[in-house]
Chains A and B, each alone.
Chain A
Amino acid sequence: MPLLEIRRVTRRFGDFTAVDDVSFAVEPGEFFTLLGPSGCGKTTLLRMIAGFDLPDAGQILLDGRDLADTPAERRPVHTVFQNFALFPHLSVARNVAFPLRMAGLGEGEVKRRTADALDMVHLGELAEHYPHEISGGQKQRVALARGLVNRPRLLLLDEPLGALDLKLREEMQLELIKLQREVGITFVFVTHAQNEALALSHRIAVMNAGRVEQLDEPSRIYGFPVNRFVADFIGNCNLLEAEVRAVEADGLRLSVAGLGEVRAPAAEGCQTGERGLLALRPEQVQVAAEADPAWANRFPGQVRDFLYVGDVTTYQVRLDNGYTLQALLPNAAPGRARFHETGDRVMVGWSAQAGHYVREA
Chain B
Amino acid sequence: MRRLPTWLLLAAASSYAFLYLPLIIVVAYSFNDSRLNAEWVGFTLDWYRVLLHDEEMLLAARNSLLIALVSSGAATLLGTLAGLGMHRWRPAWLPLLVITPVAMPEILLGVSLLVFFIQVLHLTLGFLSVVLAHITFSIGFVAIVVRARLAGMDESIFEAARDLGATPWQTFRLVTFPLILPAVVAGFLMAFTLSLDDFVITFFTAGVGVSTLPLQIYSMIKIAVTPEVNAVSTLLMLLTLVLVIAASRMDKGFMRGAG
Residues of chain A whose beta carbon lies under 8 Å from any beta carbon of chain B: 50-52, 71-74, 77-79, 81-83, 85-89, 98-99, 102-103, 146-147, 150
B contacts with A: majority SS: helix
A85 near B175 (CB under 8 angstroms)? no
Q: A150 and B159 in contact (CB under 8 A), knowing A83-B154, A89-B179?
A: no
Provide the residues of chain B in CB contact with A73, threshold 8 Å: 162-167
B105 at the A interface (CB under 8 A): no
Which of A82, A88, A102 makes the CB contact (< 8 A) with B164? A102
A78 near B163 (CB under 8 angstroms)? yes
Provide the residues of chain A in CB contact with B174, threshold 8 Å: 98
Nearest-CB distance from A134 to chain B (Å)? 16
B156 near A83 (CB under 8 angstroms)? yes
A79 near B170 (CB under 8 angstroms)? no
Which among B160, B166, B175 has the highest number of chain A CB atoms within 10 Å? B160
Q: A81 and B156 in contact (CB under 8 A), knowing A87-B175, A102-B170?
A: yes
Q: A85 and B162 in contact (CB under 8 A), knowing A73-B167, A102-B170?
A: no
Residue pairs across A and B with Cβ atoms less than 8 A apart, 28 shown, are A50-B159, A50-B163, A52-B163, A72-B159, A73-B162, A73-B165, A73-B166, A74-B165, A77-B163, A79-B159, A81-B156, A82-B156, A85-B156, A85-B157, A85-B159, A86-B157, A87-B161, A87-B175, A88-B157, A88-B179, A89-B175, A89-B178, A98-B164, A98-B166, A98-B174, A99-B164, A99-B165, A102-B165
Q: A72 and B157 in contact (CB under 8 A), knowing A87-B175, A88-B179, A89-B179?
A: no
| Alpha-carbon distance between A54 and B164 when the two chains are bound, in angstroms | 18
Nearest-CB distance from A171 to chain B (Å)? 24
Nearest-CB distance from A163 to chain B (Å)? 12
Nearest-CB distance from A120 to chain B (Å)? 17
A150 near B156 (CB under 8 angstroms)? no
Provide the residues of chain B in CB contact with A72, threshold 8 Å: 159, 162-163
Which of B157, B162, B167 makes the CB contact (< 8 A) with A87? B157
In the complex, besides A81-B159, A85-B159, 8 extra interface pairs with C-beta distance below 8 angstroms are A73-B163, A79-B159, A79-B163, A87-B175, A98-B161, A102-B166, A146-B164, A150-B165
Instruction: Provide the B151-186 mask, 1 if CB < 8 A to any CB of A, else 0.
Output: 000101101111111110010001100110000000
Nearest-CB distance from B252 to chain A (Å)? 13
Closest 9 CB pairs of A and B: A102-B165, A85-B160, A99-B164, A85-B156, A72-B162, A79-B163, A81-B156, A85-B157, A89-B178
Nearest-CB distance from B162 to chain A (Å)? 4
| Alpha-carbon distance between A79 and B178 when the two chains are bound, in angstroms | 22
| Alpha-carbon distance between A150 and B174 when the two chains are bound, in angstroms | 18
| Alpha-carbon distance between A71 and B163 when the two chains are bound, in angstroms | 9
Provide the residues of chain A in CB contact with B159, threshold 8 Å: 50, 52, 72, 79, 81, 85
B161 near A103 (CB under 8 angstroms)? no
Q: A78 and B164 in contact (CB under 8 A), knowing A83-B156, A85-B154?
A: yes
- Chain A residue at minimal CB-CB distance from B177: A89
Provide the residues of chain A in CB contact with B160, threshold 8 Å: 79, 81, 85-87
Instruction: Provide the B106-143 mask, 1 if CB < 8 A to any CB of A, else 0.
Output: 00000000000000000000000000000000000000
Provide the residues of chain B in CB contact with A150, threshold 8 Å: 164-165
Provide the residues of chain A in CB contact with B178, threshold 8 Å: 89
Provide the residues of chain B in CB contact with A89, threshold 8 Å: 175, 178-179
- Chain A residue at minimal CB-CB distance from B179: A89
- Chain B residue at minimal CB-CB distance from A81: B156
| Alpha-carbon distance between A78 and B166 when the two chains are bound, in angstroms | 12
Nearest-CB distance from A16 to chain B (Å)? 21
Provide the residues of chain B in CB contact with A52, threshold 8 Å: 159, 162-163
- Chain B residue at minimal CB-CB distance from A50: B163
Provide the residues of chain B in CB contact with A82, threshold 8 Å: 156
| Alpha-carbon distance between A72 and B160 when the two chains are bound, in angstroms | 10
| Alpha-carbon distance between A235 and B170 when the two chains are bound, in angstroms | 45
| Alpha-carbon distance between A99 and B170 when the two chains are bound, in angstroms | 12
- Chain B residue at minimal CB-CB distance from A89: B178
| Alpha-carbon distance between A280 and B170 when the two chains are bound, in angstroms | 55
| Alpha-carbon distance between A72 and B162 when the two chains are bound, in angstroms | 6
- Chain B residue at minimal CB-CB distance from A75: B163
| Alpha-carbon distance between A82 and B154 when the two chains are bound, in angstroms | 12
- Chain B residue at minimal CB-CB distance from A149: B164
Provide the residues of chain B in CB contact with A79, threshold 8 Å: 159-160, 163
| Alpha-carbon distance between A196 and B96 when the two chains are bound, in angstroms | 48
